[in-house]
Amino acid sequence: MSAAEPPTTEPPGIDRERVGRWLAANVVGLVAPVEFSLVSGGRSNLTYRVTDAAGAAYALRRPPMGGVLQTAHDMGREWRFVSAMAGTGVPVAPPLAFCDDTGVTGAPFYVMGFVDGLVLAGPDDAARLEPAARARAGESLVEVLVALHALDPYERGLDAMVRSTGFAERQLRRWHRQIRHAEVAHLPLLDEVHDLLAAHVPAQRTGIVHGDYRPGNLAFGPDGTVRAVFDWELATSGDPLADVGYLVATWQEPGESDAAGSPGPTVVPGFPSRTELVDRYARLASRDVSDVPYWVAFAQWRSACISVGVRARYAAGHMADDGYRDQAQARADQEILLAETARDAVRALGLSTGGAP
């Protein structure tokens, strides 16, 4: 988990008294009273560090306080995926309790153990790892991703989540529909990229897809080994290469920056290159990765769509004020650049609606 903000009298989204009572009654070993602090960095579901009277730490997840888009922020779904990972080769924070009573704090939420590890949110975090540990971090996160994609969703009790066909089509339809609920000036550009992607969907496989797999959603030990995978909000069944494409799309190399000009953790020397990540995945998973470029373009377009939704929630006052609203124009510019990059990538692959690059 990333660093937490100092406790406030009433953290946004938490009814301290009611949630405290619920936790005492439903989390084995928790010692009341508890303190809450909002974990910084969350742009979607809200995450809190919970510290009990004995000093034990837990993590609590709940949806945004309003402006929730259809099919998004389903805490029951996220809870089921985290629970399904427990005891597998995919490390997760131990799932402890789920609350579907919205009378407790206005929305469903779940509680898990707090994993002590380094989350690589930016270069400063990455610099805390020795060069050998950075190399190991790149190796380990690929190993965990391969382990995830090797799981049978039916065997993990995720039968209700499995749809064996049409993953890309469903995803394109979902995100395209959701951006139309927000006011966005560059909708024609997002529409264009959607149409390009929809016209050239590759043959698809079926597995468990995390949906947001990147160093900023993982906790690493000092040696670079992944200790836990967080933020299962977008998890679903679908083509595992979607996770690989997203990882590649968000993975920066030394000297690069993302579409907003912000350096990510992997600009620090010592991490594998994008090519090395894909090659390692292909070797360990024994998969054909020739469709990864399509999923990279898809990931860039989807990231732009997600940003549109996040901006809309901040503008409506549905998210805790952590300074994000001040970056609204920069985020809109980032959405445009992401969409243009995706469009150019699809065209470079020859995937245009007219059939030519």
Residue 39, pLDDT > 80, answer: yes
- pLDDT attached to residue 165: 76
What is the mean predicted confidence (pLDDT) over 67-78?
Answer: 66
Domains belonging to the chain, first-starting first, are 16-115 (3.30.200.20), 119-348 (3.90.1200.10)
Residue bearing tokens 């919205």 = 102
**Mean pLDDT for the chain?**
88
Residue 9, pLDDT > 90, answer: no
d(CA 251, CA 245): 10
Residue 67, pLDDT > 50, answer: no
pLDDT tens string 255-304? 887 655 578 999 999 999 999 999 999 999 999 999 999 999 999 999 99
- pLDDT attached to residue 106: 92
The highest-confidence range among 200-204, 296-300, 307-311, by mean pLDDT, is 296-300
Closest CA to 42 of 15, 4, 8: 4
- pLDDT attached to residue 79: 96
Among 32-41, 151-160, 219-228, 306-315, the range scoring the smallest mean pLDDT is 306-315
- pLDDT attached to residue 356: 36
Number of Cβ within a 10 Å radius of residue 52: 19
131 pLDDT band (50/70/90 cuts)? Answer: very high
Residue 41, pLDDT > 60, answer: no
Q: From residue 147, give the alpha-carbon distance in Å to each of 75, 85, 90, 285.
A: 24, 10, 6, 8
Residue 250, pLDDT > 70, answer: yes
d(CA 247, CA 270): 17
- pLDDT attached to residue 5: 45
CB 179 within 8 A of CB 308: yes
Percent of the chain with pLDDT over 70: 85
CB 83 within 8 A of CB 30: no
- pLDDT attached to residue 324: 59
pLDDT tens string 336-346? 888 898 998 88
pLDDT tens string 116-127? 999 999 999 999
Among 153-157, 199-203, 253-257, the range scoring the smallest mean pLDDT is 253-257
Higher pLDDT, 329 or 8: 329
Residue 103, pLDDT > 80, answer: yes
Among 72-86, 92-106, 120-134, the range scoring the smallest mean pLDDT is 72-86
